[in-house]
Chains A and B, each alone.
Chain A
Amino acid sequence: MAEKIYKKIDEIDFSMQSPDFIKETSSAKIVTAELYEREGYPVDGGLMDVRLGVIDPGLRCKTCGGKLKECMGHFGHIELARPVIHINYAVHAYNAMRSTCNECYRVKLNQVKLDGYAEKIKFAQKLGDYDRVRKLSKEVLTKSRLIKKCPHCKAKQDAVKIEKPTTYNQGEHRVNPIQVRERLEKISNEDTILLGLNPKTSRPEWMVMSILPIPPVTMRPSITLESGERSEDDLTHKLGDIVRINQRLFENINAGAPEMIIEDLWDLLQYHITTYLDNSVSSVPPARHRSGQALKTLTERIKSKEGRFRNNLAGKRVNYAARTVISPDPCIGFNDVGIPESVARELTIPERVTEWNKEWLLKLIKNGPTNYPGANYVIWPDGKKKKITEETIEQILEELQHGFKVERHLINGDQALFNRQPSLHRMSLMCHRVKVLPGRSFRMNPSVCNPYNADFDGDEMNLHVPQTEEARAEAEVLMEVQTQLITPKNGYNIIGCVEDSITGCYLLTHTKEMGKIEAIDLLTSIGIDNVKFSKEKVSGAEVFSTVLPDDFNFIRKNKHGETTVRVKNGNLEHGIIDKNTIGENNGELIREFYRKYGQDRTIKLLGNIFQLGIQILLKKGFSTGVADTDIPKEAVKKIDNKVHKAYGKLEEHIEAFKKRKIEVLPGKTELETLEIRAMEILNKTRTEIGDYITELVGEGNPTLTMAQSGAKGNVLNFTQMTGCIGQQALGGKRITRGYRGRTLSSFKKGDLGPEARGFVKNTFKRGITPTEFFFHAMTGRDSLMDTALRTPKSGYLYRRLANALQDLKIEYDRTVRNATKDIIQFQYGDDSIDVSKSEGGTINVVNAIHDVLGENV
């Protein structure tokens, strides 16, 4: 397959184009702005000359004889009636003129200095240190340009001024391009080097153009509109203007027209050539279409986001891809992706016809492109590709043989790459198995939202179908969902149970007793049907244990060293399953699975646990509502008392402060101390209220259950709905902004009480007072602004980091090196720890020992 490489580029030299080179490579001299004759055939010597290449089918190129697509086009040229400054070299020509004498054309430095610089530049060039060369020639330019008397011929020098973009003046007089060219011509080769140019490849006078290359027509093809009219490319339009003005200038010069008219035409020619090269020069009004739209000329084709580099080379559009809205489906596996039939009909996989699949493929071809599952194209061994239609189907069915390829529709089980932008880490593009489903959206298991950072508020995702066996194998081995369970960021699992499944498992392991039938029914619904219970009543832990492997051992300890969860020989002996064991990001049970059984088995076990959790909620029924936050009247009173107690305590402090008797904290003023005390008291009160409510409501409250299992929300959210919203803080302090000495005009000046400083004692359910509402809105707006400003900033920061670090890798000697093998770090992370095999950056030594000794926990 691979073509032989017979020429290799090892050096590229960027230089100016010489007029001789332009003439040499030109295959046609363009003399007229006309494009086509009356019959529609290109005019000889016109801009669409057939010698410049062909864009019409049927025509042959007059230069190389090639047909459309065979001939890649040839350059032409026009001779300019008067020379014109090249806009991109205008500054350089200006620098060259400023630094040279206007009579003897030498660089205005004495011979000793010139020799010195020449020596230095030669030396730097020999070393290949082009930064140094650039620096030196820049020094020559800055030192020589302000000299008012030539050190060689002693001539007085008037300063040359540039009038943007392309006009030069010296003293009172204008220096026209002819004179510019003459002056640049007379600069010696030795001096050219000092100015920073290589005279062998770039003579300074080439910065003024006397001849203009015309790009081949293949570079600026015209398009035929529906009406049969031809619409020319922007470049052709611009070149037409140039040729037209150039011809008029010729005629006027030959006819001996007055200097005024010639100058005007000359300026116009300069304008046209400037905009032809770059239509976004700041001081030149951009050339426009008749519709008023600016023309896209040479520079615009290359530059910026829509230019050749960023749009066509760095990023390309691809085939075999689809994009649509995503929606959740907890009933499909983690590595499944639900695909609408309409998408499956459009995306295809080329399948080679063999002895074993011929019949099946014939059936698909018979179904055609409209009936799913079918096929869209058939490819002959010689590369001919035919669409399956009613006309062609007969012939295809007859001719189909081994070695043909059939582009068949996607079917269940095919590999597909699933991606969500911004693709910030490797988990943003994972391989899923296709599952064709009704509907029009991509379906995914809610557990894989986390790696993609997706939600279902209208997010869209992309799907790509690998087309070769190699690509599919690679996708499966390197990037299928189960290979990405552990994130390289910290070694924690990025995929785990979410929301309902956590709540479900939490409730299950809380269940002391359930009927045998009920338990078996539950397990059957997730596909486990080989379980036997000897007792009539089983506990939730026993039911949960059935999804665990028999040889599984696991102990989880909390911060204080107490065992919270214990699994022995596949039996959950003690503890509750919650977010810390099966959740995403540091679900320790999942990590233990992964360590012990590897990725494929882990994803299966995790899938079972996930389904189990959901089924429990389905069977049991689980919902949350406003009634969750109902508490008895006495409780409300008690909470009120707590708040008032805190008020009283704070009042004491305020009194002490006013009498200047407050106990000052080290390094703080009295007021600061008071504020800190106030925050302490009020925040403590809210925590107390939270604890009180948690105790009061007890088990069985769905909202609290979700908070405690870690599925969604936290106790603070519940407290704010039920007991007390609490102190509103701006920048970690109580609210002090607003009017002079007070936050709102409804308070007395100097009021330091809780209510005047943003304490909200009401709850979301009960409703809050206008002043409380205002304070709450203040903190709300503050955090909103914070996120709104931080997101794009941190996104851009990350992008720059990722781009700067993209070529760094860890070598075998554990050094971090870049693409040129420069050392960035002598030992990766100073400790050589592979973070993806660690737990939050540190190695679990106990586990490592057990792994080596083969012992169980």
Chain B
Amino acid sequence: MAEKVKPTTINHALVPKQVVCDKEEVSRLLSKYNIRKDQLPKVSIKDPSIQVLELEPGDIIKISRSSQTEPSSLFYRVVV
């Protein structure tokens, strides 16, 4: 059996920065947009880019990324 590889941060221009939100931030986010957790955009728990964060379903990650129109913008995803 192959040894389990410890996940590492992917350092690549195309992989945006991702951070876990703490409880306070989560409640602030949900009340700001007046939503439930399941109304957030989703990200699979198997997604390679979040392996290093060792998340559980229901956690929310904050992604800061750039787009054509804005050099940096915030995005949130709930882990499923």
Q: Which residue of B lies closest to A827 (CB)?
A: B73
Q: Which residue of A lies closest to B67 (CB)?
A: A830
Find chain B residues with CB under 8 A from A773 CB.
none
Q: Which of B13-21, B35-43, B45-53 contacts A (4 or more CB under 8 A)?
A: B35-43
Q: Is B39 a contact partner of A821 (Cβ separation < 8 A)?
A: yes
Instruction: Given A813-B33, A815-B33, A821-B35, verify A833-B74 contact (CB < 8 Å).
Output: no
CB-contact partner of A820 in B39, B69, B73, under 8 A:
B39
Q: Is A830 a contact partner of B39 (Cβ separation < 8 A)?
A: no
CB-contact partner of A830 in B33, B38, B40, B69, under 8 A:
B69
Q: A818-852 CB contact bits vs B (8 Å, 1 = yes)? A: 00111110110111010000000100000000000
Q: Is A823 a contact partner of B67 (Cβ separation < 8 A)?
A: no
Q: Which residue of A lies closest to B75 (CB)?
A: A826
Instruction: Given A831-B69, A833-B69, verify A826-B74 contact (CB < 8 Å).
Output: yes
Find chain A residues with CB under 8 A from B75 CB.
826
Q: Which residue of A lies closest to B72 (CB)?
A: A830
Find chain B residues with CB under 8 A from A822 CB.
38-41
Distance, CA A829 to CA B40, complexed state (A): 17
Distance, CA A830 to CA B76, complexed state (A): 13
CB-contact partner of A826 in B38, B69, B76, under 8 A:
B76
Q: Which residue of B lies closest to A824 (CB)?
A: B41
- Say how far A822's CB is from chain B's closest CB, in angstroms: 4
- Say how far A213's CB is from chain B's closest CB, in angstroms: 41
Find chain B residues with CB under 8 A from A821 CB.
35, 39
Chain A CB within 8 A of B3 CB: no
Distance, CA A850 to CA B76, complexed state (A): 37
Q: Is A829 a contact partner of B33 (Cβ separation < 8 A)?
A: no
- Say how far B29's CB is from chain A's closest CB, in angstroms: 9
Chain A CB within 8 A of B70 CB: yes
Distance, CA A830 to CA B75, complexed state (A): 10
Distance, CA A820 to CA B40, complexed state (A): 11
Tell me the A32-74 residues at the B interface (CB within 8 Å).
none
Distance, CA A232 to CA B28, complexed state (A): 68
Find chain B residues with CB under 8 A from A830 CB.
67, 69-70, 73
CB-contact partner of A823 in B35, B70, B73, B74, under 8 A:
B35
Distance, CA A826 to CA B73, complexed state (A): 9
Distance, CA A831 to CA B73, complexed state (A): 9
List the count of A-B residue pairs having beta carbons below 8 Å apart. Answer: 30
The A contact surface, by secondary structure, is loop
Q: Is B39 a contact partner of A831 (Cβ separation < 8 A)?
A: no
- Say how far B77's CB is from chain A's closest CB, in angstroms: 10
Instruction: Given A813-B33, A815-B33, verify A823-B40 contact (CB < 8 Å).
Output: yes
Distance, CA A329 to CA B35, complexed state (A): 54
Distance, CA A820 to CA B69, complexed state (A): 27
Find chain A residues with CB under 8 A from B35 CB.
821, 823
Q: Which residue of A lies closest to B74 (CB)?
A: A826
Distance, CA A827 to CA B75, complexed state (A): 9
Distance, CA A833 to CA B69, complexed state (A): 9
CB-contact partner of B69 in A815, A824, A841, under 8 A:
A841
Q: Which residue of B lies closest to A815 (CB)?
A: B33
Q: Is A823 a contact partner of B69 (Cβ separation < 8 A)?
A: no
Distance, CA A827 to CA B32, complexed state (A): 13
- Say how far A829's CB is from chain B's closest CB, in angstroms: 5
Find chain B residues with CB under 8 A from A831 CB.
69-70
Q: Which of A821, A823, A830, A833 has its CB near the most chain B CB atoms (within 10 A)?
A: A830
Find chain B residues with CB under 8 A from A813 CB.
33
Find chain B residues with CB under 8 A from A827 CB.
73
Tell me the A361-396 residues at the B interface (CB within 8 Å).
none
Distance, CA A813 to CA B39, complexed state (A): 15
Q: B62-80 CB contact bits vs A (8 Å, 1 = yes)? A: 0000010110011110000
Q: Which residue of A lies closest to B32 (CB)?
A: A813
Distance, CA A846 to CA B58, complexed state (A): 46
Find chain A residues with CB under 8 A from B74 CB.
826
Q: Which residue of B lies closest to A820 (CB)?
A: B39
Q: Which of A824, A826, A831, A833 has its CB near the most chain B CB atoms (within 10 A)?
A: A826
Find chain A residues with CB under 8 A from B73 CB.
826-827, 830
- Say how far B33's CB is from chain A's closest CB, in angstroms: 6
Distance, CA A210 to CA B61, complexed state (A): 58
Distance, CA A815 to CA B73, complexed state (A): 13
Q: Which residue of A lies closest to B40 (CB)?
A: A823
Distance, CA A827 to CA B73, complexed state (A): 9
Q: A441-464 CB contact bits vs B (8 Å, 1 = yes)? A: 000000000000000000000000
Distance, CA A821 to CA B40, complexed state (A): 9
- Say how far A789's CB is from chain B's closest CB, in angstroms: 28
Q: Which residue of B lies closest to A841 (CB)?
A: B69
- Say how far B58's CB is from chain A's closest CB, in angstroms: 15
Find chain A residues with CB under 8 A from B69 CB.
829-831, 833, 841
- Say how far A715's CB is from chain B's closest CB, in angstroms: 32
Q: Which residue of B lies closest to A811 (CB)?
A: B33
Q: Which residue of A lies closest to B70 (CB)?
A: A830
Tell me the A797-831 residues at the B interface (CB within 8 Å).
813, 815, 820-824, 826-827, 829-831
Distance, CA A829 to CA B70, complexed state (A): 8
- Say how far A610's CB is from chain B's closest CB, in angstroms: 35
6 nearest A-B pairs in the assembled complex, by CB-CB distance: A830-B70, A830-B73, A822-B39, A831-B69, A830-B67, A830-B69
Given A815-B33, A822-B38, A826-B76, 9 more pairs with CB closer than 8 A: A820-B39, A821-B39, A822-B39, A822-B40, A822-B41, A823-B35, A823-B39, A826-B73, A841-B69
Interface residues of A (CB under 8 A from B): 813, 815, 820-824, 826-827, 829-831, 833, 841
A-B contact pairs, 20 of them (CB 8 A): A813-B33, A820-B39, A821-B35, A822-B38, A822-B39, A822-B40, A822-B41, A823-B33, A823-B40, A823-B41, A826-B33, A826-B73, A826-B76, A829-B69, A830-B67, A830-B70, A830-B73, A831-B69, A831-B70, A833-B69
